Amino acid sequence: MDVNAAVAAAAAIAGVLTGVIAMLAFRWSERDQKRPTRTSLHTDPVLPPGVDTVLSVLRSSAVVLDEADAVVKASSAAYALGLVRGGKLAVEPMLQMARDTRRDGEIRQVELDLPRRGTGRGEALAVSARVAPLGSRLVLLLVEDLTEARRIEAVRRDFVANVSHELKTPVGALSLLSEAVMDASDDPEAVERFAGRMQIEATRLTNLVQELIDLSRVQNDDPLEDAEPVRVGELVAEAVDRCRHQAGTKQITMAAGGTAELSIWGNRGQLAAALGNLVENAVNYSPARTRVGIAARRVTAPGGDLIEIAVTDQGIGISEKDRERVFERFYRVDPARSRQTGGTGLGLAIVKHVAASHGGEVTVWSSEGQGSTFTLRLPEAGAARDRVTDHHMPGLDEDDETEQPDGTTTVSSPYEPLPAPEVLP
């Protein structure tokens, strides 16, 4: 009996000890699980206070990388530029910059040309990337898109180069002619001939300077500051009067129609200059004894009615490749012919700027050997006050193109013959 009691007591003591050991082991395991490990210290990094808010208002594309090169934070612009894909920085040069900055803590900056996403034309995005450390473990990458700035700079360089060239030609001619006049001082006929040439070059130089001034004015001025209802008939009459002498010299008949009771909302001076340039081009590039027509009509478009003013000539026409560039500054379809007519290559650029600043557009239809039609589409007075800031007029009819069996393309004009033209001598 005493032996059984001893065995039972020993078993009870062993059970108690086992329970205590199991409880201590469970508590120890729980404490180990709660204790931060070396690995857990490096997961789910947290941005420093306020950084997230600052990155959300930056215009530059922003990407924050952790020490494993994983993207912790990226702006929507960074995704749009294709910098981040699948949670990783997709541009290897930027990734290498981030690693170097993480290693030595130095700020780095570089300009790169990146392929544009979604295009197969080899176009590149010009970007400026700047990498800086953000705390002890994170790296901040800021990327700014420089593509538009580079394009504007290229346009500015081309413009300066073209202006220099265009000014150099008449100035150089005047210098040579003045020397010729001095050498031929004893020959009245030669002096008279050279003086006539000097007048031509001086006129050309004056026209170029004036068109440069006009182009600068239409680019910098707001036409709505002095906007008023302008009658189309008055604009047409002024344009015709401006070209009456040139048309009479070449025996070109000028006709106008459809301008009654039509008005445009805008700057009268700029509108007159734009239409005058179109009519002057039509006269200058038309053969002798042909016809130049000016027609106007009202067309319905979303947002309000438009006034179309079409200037049609029977000139040499414009090829398809040149039609895309005729509104560029200093671009000439036939440079040799432009020297004869005194063209500067700025007239159509001025027309384009005037149309855009008035909430309209200018288009061209042309067929080589048959002539061209330049059309100004501008908001009608009255309805224009609420839509002059819209530079794109949707819903307008476009030229119809028909492909012929021989592979050529025939472009048909959307304009009907001039309605009841009034012949202007």
**What's the CATH code of the domain at 350?**
3.30.565.10
Distance CA 264, CA 232 (A): 7
For residues 289 and 308, membership in a common domain is answered with yes
Q: Is 372 within a domain? A: yes
Give pLDDT tens digits for 289-307. Answer: 999 999 999 988 877 789 9
Which residue, of 145, 165, 192, is where some domain finishes? 145
For residues 345 and 299, membership in a common domain is answered with yes
For residues 298 and 409, membership in a common domain is answered with yes
pLDDT at 234: 92
pLDDT at 303: 74
Q: Is 6 within a domain? A: no
Distance CA 76, CA 58 (A): 11
Please state the domain count of the chain.
3
Q: Of the candidates 368, 374, 317, which has an alpha carbon nearest to the alpha carbon of residue 351?
A: 374
Question: CATH number for the domain including 187?
Answer: 1.10.287.130
- Domain carrying residue 132: 51-145
Q: Is 84 within a domain? A: yes
Structure tokens given for 150: 């580079």
DSSP letters spanning 91-136: -HHHHHHHHHHHHH---EEEEEEEEPTT-SS--EEEEEEEEEEETT
Write the burial class of residue 244 (CB in 10 Å: 0-12 exposed, 13-18 middle, 19+ buried).
Answer: middle
For residues 319 and 395, membership in a common domain is answered with yes
Q: Is residue 66 a contact partner of residue 137, using CB atoms and an 8 Å limit?
A: yes
pLDDT at 29: 52
Q: Is residue 418 a contact partner of residue 255, using CB atoms and an 8 Å limit?
A: yes
Q: Of the candidates 178, 357, 153, which has an alpha carbon nearest to the alpha carbon of residue 274?
A: 357
pLDDT at 131: 92
The CA radius of gyration of the chain, in Å to the nearest whole number, is 38
Q: Is residue 129 a contact partner of residue 142, using CB atoms and an 8 Å limit?
A: yes
pTM: 0.52
Residues of the chain under the 50 pLDDT cut: 32-44, 119-121, 336-339, 384-425
Q: Is residue 393 a contact partner of residue 380, using CB atoms and an 8 Å limit?
A: no
What pairing do the DSSP bridges indicate for beta strands 253-257 and 263-266?
unpaired
Q: Is 31 within a domain? A: no
User: Position of tokens 């170097």?
Assistant: 100
For residues 396 and 324, membership in a common domain is answered with yes
Distance CA 279, CA 301 (A): 25
For residues 259 and 333, membership in a common domain is answered with yes
Distance CA 57, CA 77 (A): 11
Structure tokens given for 145: 């898109």
pLDDT at 20: 57
For residues 246 and 395, membership in a common domain is answered with yes
For residues 201 and 109, membership in a common domain is answered with no
What SS3 class is residue 409?
strand
Q: Is 346 left (phi over 0), alpha (psi -120 to 50) or beta?
A: alpha
Q: Is 109 within a domain? A: yes
Write the burial class of residue 104 (CB in 10 Å: 0-12 exposed, 13-18 middle, 19+ buried).
Answer: exposed
Distance CA 89, CA 62 (A): 11
For residues 62 and 124, membership in a common domain is answered with yes
For residues 323 and 395, membership in a common domain is answered with yes
Strand partners, 131: 108, 141
pLDDT at 7: 56
For residues 418 and 346, membership in a common domain is answered with yes
Q: Is 16 within a domain? A: no
Q: Is 5 within a domain? A: no
Question: CATH number for the domain including 72?
Answer: 3.30.450.20
For residues 76 and 152, membership in a common domain is answered with no
DSSP letters spanning 244-273: HHHHHHTT-EEEEES-TT-EEEE-HHHHHH
Which residue, of 118, 145, 172, is where some domain finishes? 145
What SS3 class is residue 414?
coil
Which residue, of 184, 200, 220, is where some domain finishes? 220
Q: Is 29 within a domain? A: no
Q: Is residue 288 a contact partner of residue 252, using CB atoms and an 8 Å limit?
A: yes
